[in-house]
């Protein structure tokens, strides 16, 4: 899978962001607008200018549901509506399920925030395993390597 950002602008956060990220890479985002960019890549919010492509195909509000079949998204905070009990809320378990899903693009928001050191090690191991399997991992504030996109 190839993720391409071409002159992506989200007003008030960043302008003209361009990057190409391929399978087998883990890339962290730094700067203002990290979570917003992740949500745009998943197709949950629109961008103001530019475009996002996955495997050369344009990500649009109409195509986003198709592309989400190839993505696993773990938000920084998960709130479960009252009455729902089958959704795990443990962050490490959510990351584990994302990795075990076999999806090619893992979008993991703030994977090391609010975790103790043992949980951080578990999440790190899971994300490294996904990269070794040739998947693309996009995270916020990735301490595992120096591969960053500065927003």
Output the CATH code of domain 2-150: 3.40.50.300
Question: Does the reported pTM lie above 0.75?
Answer: yes
Domain coordinates in residue numbering, the chain:
2-150
Query: 124: Cβ–Cβ under 8 A, 6 or more apart, which residues?
Result: 112, 144
Q: Please tell me the distance from the alpha carbon of residue 107 to that of residue 125, in angstroms, as a whole number.
A: 16
**What percent of the chain is predicted at pLDDT more than 70?**
93
Place of tokens 């399997």: 133
Q: Mean pLDDT for the chain?
A: 90
Interval 52-106: pLDDT, tens:
999 999 999 999 999 999 999 999 877 767 777 666 678 899 999 999 999 999 9
Interval 18-27: pLDDT, tens:
999 999 999 9
94's tokens: 């959510």
10's tokens: 């989200």
């Amino acid at each position: 899978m190839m993720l391409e950002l071409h002159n992506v602008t989200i007003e008030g956060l960043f302008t003209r962001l361009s990057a190409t990220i391929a399978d087998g890479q883990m890339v962290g985002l730094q700067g203002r607008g990290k979570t917003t960019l992740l949500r745009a890549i998943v197709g949950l919010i629109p961008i103001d200018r530019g475009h996002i492509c996955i495997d050369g195909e344009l990500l649009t509000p109409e195509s986003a549901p198709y592309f989400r079949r190839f993505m696993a998204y773990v938000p920084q905070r998960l709130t479960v509506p009252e009455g729902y009990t089958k959704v795990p809320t443990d962050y490490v378990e959510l990351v584990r399920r994302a990795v075990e899903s076999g999806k090619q693009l893992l979008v993991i928001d703030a994977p090391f925030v609010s975790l103790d050191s043992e949980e951080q090690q578990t999440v790190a191991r899971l994300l490294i395993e996904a990269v070794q399997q040739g998947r693309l991992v996009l995270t916020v504030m990735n301490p595992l390597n120096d591969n960053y996109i500065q927003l």
